[in-house]
Amino acid sequence: MKGKKLYPAAITIFGAKGDLTHRKLIPAIYNLFIGNHLPSSFSLICVDFLPDSDEEFRNYLLGGVNEFSRNGKADEMKWNEFSTRICYIQGDFLKLDTFVSLRKKLDSFDKENKQRGTRLFYYAVAPRFIEVISDSLYKLKLCHQEKKDRIVVEKPFGTDLDSSKRLNRFLGKRFAEAQIYRIDHYLGKETVQNILAFRFANYVFEPLWNHKYIDHIQISVAESVGVGKRGGYYDSSGALRDMIQNHLLQLLCIVAMECPDAYQAEMIRNAKTRLMQSVRIYKPAEVFKNVVRGQYTAGMVDDKPIPAYRNEDQVSSGSTTETFVAAKFFIDNKRWKGVPFFLGTGKALPKQTSVIAVQFKESPHKIFKDDIVPNRLIISIQPELEICLLFESKVPGLEMKLQAVDMDFIYQENYTESIPEAYEALILDVLEGDATLFMRADQVDAAWKVVMPILNAWKKFPTRQLHFYEAGTWAPAAARELVKPYAKHWFQLPVKNKVQPILKDSL
Amino acid sequence: MKGKKLYPAAITIFGAKGDLTHRKLIPAIYNLFIGNHLPSSFSLICVDFLPDSDEEFRNYLLGGVNEFSRNGKADEMKWNEFSTRICYIQGDFLKLDTFVSLRKKLDSFDKENKQRGTRLFYYAVAPRFIEVISDSLYKLKLCHQEKKDRIVVEKPFGTDLDSSKRLNRFLGKRFAEAQIYRIDHYLGKETVQNILAFRFANYVFEPLWNHKYIDHIQISVAESVGVGKRGGYYDSSGALRDMIQNHLLQLLCIVAMECPDAYQAEMIRNAKTRLMQSVRIYKPAEVFKNVVRGQYTAGMVDDKPIPAYRNEDQVSSGSTTETFVAAKFFIDNKRWKGVPFFLGTGKALPKQTSVIAVQFKESPHKIFKDDIVPNRLIISIQPELEICLLFESKVPGLEMKLQAVDMDFIYQENYTESIPEAYEALILDVLEGDATLFMRADQVDAAWKVVMPILNAWKKFPTRQLHFYEAGTWAPAAARELVKPYAKHWFQLPVKNKVQPILKDSL
């Protein structure tokens, strides 16, 4: 346990048969269980539309744990103990009956424990169900104790600023803001959490962390997969809504926010919101100069063919939905005056990699004749977990010759135990009522404000500057053009144990 | 070759039978030869008192190369080619005849080459011979071409400020300052040279490199050997003269000097001299508060017994000579106001290690509850070549728990070829007329000024606060007391691949 005493907890998952539950939530909760992080009394109530027995459903979940848990196959004894806490409710989210059944389960759990437990309601459902589920929880007073009851909502939080505001207002009438946990699993990732430690527990970086010393910052999240089975959702969303509005802008906040006065949820959320509200909002005319979009055509990734996006299942044949975005943002505050933040993300790229690169400026005066690569700090989020600082060093030998090398801290070399998955950290946080890593309504709205001019411009000109790129290649040339005045490349992680100019081209 | 065209060069070594020549100079020159760094025409003239034939002498040198060269045993063909350039002159340094023989060799070398070559005269001799050799070179005009002829003088440069000034004046009357290469082999070490690159080619460290962010700096040079055969010299010298006055104060200059406006010998020497002249000179009353001395008693190092210093060969039985010094210095300038520099060195310590530790300050405001180890940069000079930065990082797991870890750059992991020895770099510099890494007269005098009050105080009170420490232990407790207000320890290199609070006690 993290140290706080946990009360008996009932975790309800809406969307029990979905991929998220199967691949992420149950393995995470199971790992919390075997790590003794769950309260001794807990219940896992899973709700979905399709019929199933408790027994069959448990076996289906076991399959997910065996396949997707970071700890490998489940231990038979432990799983048996764990699975007795799981029950399945077959029910339509649209019908109040379903929630009446749920109430029964919750009540009997409380009765068993002789106290009212913590309740966590996880919305692992399509966005269209958020309102009706909330309404039913509200009507039946299942989630009305502000200090004990919490809902967890997955993105997308609306599809634009208006719908986001509407959703926030709707939820706000039924729950206190403190009960609403808007989850962005990127924020639960180990290296992302470590950015907070790295920035605020180390005094040497703070003096450098501003426009005087930083030239630009790149935040890149590359995926090698195509849209796969998610074409229906994705085609009405696109990379800007699916990735930039949440994951990448959240990373931006963590990298660029002011230091909170204490490590305390509201202070951190205040600092992040303040940062998000200072991101420059583009005028319509500025959008096409600062934001590049692309869509993949047929190609190969890892020797496997990927069809053109327009030929993917449930995607419209003339779709102009972007599967790639590279954007340059500015933050209009004292710290970041004039420093561009490049955010890039895309699907069907050559490999999966998430990297934050902080490119420092060149020295204003050089005393060595060699070409000097300015310092660069790279924080690799996945698949490698690593922090490294690129610096110039003398090449051993009889001449004063310089070369860019890197000093690094590699998680794998230093920690032998497997590292908790983001969902483990985040679910435990919800159980403990710690909202530090979750998004507040005002921050979500601020993020929508940033992307709205882009969405509007693309809506108005659906085909203008829509760049096509072959699946398995690093993004449209226009994305490289965007960074060119600042950097030769989008950076990726340097190759280990090789002293090479670390200017690998990626994205 | 380093790029400059080298003229035919005659290298004369006075003290050809000494340890320095055998272990260091000849292996270095041989390695320069096999690396094609020497001019195609060169001659190695070795002078010493004892009789020997060219043939026997060459075999004696070959033994030194085979035993001490970083490249292992000499290649037979290459050695044969190299050794034909070696000749031996038997002669008394006190007699002019010796130099007449030398003149003949030099003249015939020039005649062979049909041009006057570069001449390098290496004084690998006891200090008492410096003046007489210089005088003879001067009288016979062997070293009178300012641009071509150079002498290389080994420390000690005098035994105090007066004798240093006297020696500098003496040499100054016979040679131009630009001809005098005062060698400190520490400055030729790869990591020491790299400090210049590290500080001045990387823009991120400069903003931190001052009293605002640096708490203190430690420069430690620990030796595991006792005085061995050098008791006679050492007993009249001591650690302060033998190590602090030269090696450690030189390291201090490189770590703390202002950035020169160009990477150019005189500018760098100006910057170093300026720094040395700003080191605070202690008043007699301040000496015992700021400088700790010690002398080893009998003990074991690496399972081998070491006798008490007073029982070492050629050491007086009641000797008060220090074999250990730890001193706190301040630099009275804008950059370093109030920052202590701890210099520590000693013999018969548990292991050989030379380390520079830059201890950054604590953050003025902490937002995490954990104990935080302030950032520390460690530059390891020997035996490991390594640069590492200690920083706080989140321990992977479900809590926000911090731990000091380090990111490192390890030469051995990045460079497979063996790294040139300091003497190779420095001898080549002399051949090329590059004085960057050599000490100028004014800098040597300034270093003596720093140590004089200490020498005087110890002379006046020979036994006061002379701490005894057992050979094979880390220094007298008083040395630890000296750093205590600033650091828990004298730092040494963190243990590789271990995430541990890096507070290893050393010195």
- B199 contacts chain A (CB < 8 A): no
The burial class, CB within 10 Å (0-12 / 13-18 / 19+), for A456 is: middle
Q: Which of A202, A254, A405 to mutate to test the interface with B (most CBs of B within 10 A)?
A: A202
Q: Minimal CA–CA distance to B125: which of B22, B14, B46, B235?
A: B14
Query: Which phi-psi region, left, alpha or beta, contains residue A3 (left: φ > 0; alpha: ψ -120 to 50)?
Result: left
Asked if A305 contacts A223 with a C-beta cutoff of 8 angstroms, the reply is no
In this predicted structure, what is the pLDDT of residue B507? 45
Residue B364 within a domain: yes
Q: How confident is the model at residue B416 (pLDDT cuts 50, 70, 90)?
A: confident
Mark whether A207 and A87 lie in a shared domain: no
Whether A4 has a pLDDT exceeding 80, the answer reads no
- A361 contacts chain B (CB < 8 A): yes
Per CB-CB distance under 8 Å, the chain B contacts of A386 are none
Mark whether B127 and B208 lie in a shared domain: no
- 3-state SS of B342-378 is EEEEECCCCCCEEEEEEEECCCCCCCCCCCCCCCEEE
**Token duo for residue A220:** 């890149």
Residues 6+ apart with CB under 8 A from B450: B245, B249, B276, B279, B281, B329
Domain interval for residue A307: 187-482
Q: Minimal CA–CA distance to B136: which of B147, B117, B148, B123?
A: B123
Query: Reduced to 3 states, what is the DSSP secondary structure of residue B14?
Result: strand
Residue B121 within a domain: yes
pTM of the model: 0.92
Are B197 and A394 in contact (CB < 8 Å)? yes
Q: What is the pLDDT of residues B81-91, one digit of tens each?
A: 999 999 999 99
Query: Which phi-psi region, left, alpha or beta, contains residue B384 (left: φ > 0; alpha: ψ -120 to 50)?
Result: beta
Residue A216 within a domain: yes
Mark whether B146 and B193 lie in a shared domain: no
In this predicted structure, what is the pLDDT of residue B487? 80
Per CB-CB distance under 8 Å, the chain A contacts of B412 are none
* A439: amino acid identity, one letter: M
In this predicted structure, what is the pLDDT of residue A370? 87
Higher-scoring residue by pLDDT: A1, A370: A370
Are A193 and B367 in contact (CB < 8 Å)? no
- A317 contacts chain B (CB < 8 A): no
* B461: amino acid identity, one letter: F
What CATH number is attached to the domain comprising A300?
3.30.360.10
- How far is residue A221's CA from residue A202's CA, in Å, rounded to a whole number? 26
In this predicted structure, what is the pLDDT of residue A502? 35
Residue B488 within a domain: no
Are B415 and A499 in contact (CB < 8 Å)? yes
Nearest beta carbon to residue B213 from set A197, A204, A362: A204
Mark whether B222 and B345 lie in a shared domain: yes
β A304-306/B466-470 pair status:
unpaired
**Token duo for residue B77:** 């063909």
- If residue A77 lies in a helix (H) or strand (E), which one and from where to where? helix A76-83
Mark whether A89 and A227 lie in a shared domain: no
In this predicted structure, what is the pLDDT of residue B506? 45
Mark whether B381 and B422 lie in a shared domain: yes
Are A396 and B402 in contact (CB < 8 Å)? no
Asked if B297 contacts B471 with a C-beta cutoff of 8 angstroms, the reply is yes
**Token duo for residue A454:** 């882009």
- How far is residue A83's CA from residue A74's CA, in Å, rounded to a whole number? 11
Q: B181 - beta bridge partners?
A: B152
Q: What is the mean pLDDT of chain B?
A: 92
- B187 contacts chain A (CB < 8 A): no
Mark whether A256 and A355 lie in a shared domain: yes
Q: How confident is the model at residue B492 (pLDDT cuts 50, 70, 90)?
A: low
Per CB-CB distance under 8 Å, the chain A contacts of B497 are 413-414
Number of domains in chain A: 2
Number of H helices, E strands in chain B: 17, 17
Are B213 and A201 in contact (CB < 8 Å)? no
Dihedral of the alpha carbons of A280, A284, A285, A289, in degrees to the nearest 10: 60
The interface predicted TM-score of the complex, written ipTM, equals: 0.90
> Minimum mean pLDDT among A124-133, A194-203, A245-254, B474-483: which range?
B474-483
Per CB-CB distance under 8 Å, the chain A contacts of B190 are 394, 396
Q: What angle do CA A284, A233, A52 make, to 5 degrees?
A: 155
Identify the domain boundary among B110, B139, B154.
Answer: B154
- Token pair 């076996």: residue: A59
Q: Which of B22, B37, B185, B247 is catalytic?
A: B247
Residue-level length of chain A: 507
Are A203 and B408 in contact (CB < 8 Å)? no
Our CA-based measurement puts residue B348 at a distance from the nearest CA of chain A, in whole angstroms, of 30
Mark whether B126 and B212 lie in a shared domain: no
Mark whether A261 and A399 lie in a shared domain: yes
In this predicted structure, what is the pLDDT of residue B129? 96
- How far is residue A7's CA from residue B186's CA, in Å, rounded to a whole number? 64
Residue A98 within a domain: yes
Nearest beta carbon to residue B499 from set A3, A263, A414: A414
Q: What is the pLDDT of residues A137-191, one digit of tens each?
A: 999 999 999 999 999 999 889 999 999 999 999 999 999 999 999 999 989 999 8
Q: Minimal CA–CA distance to B341: which of B329, B354, B353?
A: B329
- How far is residue A89's CA from residue A186's CA, in Å, rounded to a whole number? 30
What CATH number is attached to the domain comprising B80?
3.40.50.720
Q: What is the pLDDT of residues B152-207, one digit of tens each?
A: 999 889 999 999 999 999 999 999 999 999 999 989 998 889 999 999 999 999 99
